[in-house]
Amino acid sequence: MEKIELTICLGSSCFSRGNKTTLRIIDDFLKEHNLKQHVHFRGNHCFGMCEDGPILKINDQVLKQVNGERAVKALKAHFKID
């Protein structure tokens, strides 16, 4: 399986508006499903898209107004998990 790049915005706007929690939810999800070795998960500074935030990137795909639920849904779709 190809490793995906998962980048969460930890700029102050996204962080305080939800990515603080989303970060933890994603981390738990990856652990739970043993996906850590398939994902390069890292935080980034502001993407300059605060208005559309919180922002999460999966490879080149930008997810806007993300929350834990949407992030997990996108990851499940990517890894074909029900």
Q: Are 40 and 4 in contact (CB under 8 A)?
A: yes
From the list 9-17, 30-38, 63-71, 73-81, the region that binds ligand FES by CB under 6 A is 9-17
56 binds ligand FES (CB under 6 A): no
Cβ–Cβ contacts within 10 Å for residue 40, how many? 11
50 binds ligand FES (CB under 6 A): yes
Q: Which member of 4, 6, 14, 63 binds ligand FES (CB under 6 A)?
A: 14
47 binds ligand FES (CB under 6 A): yes
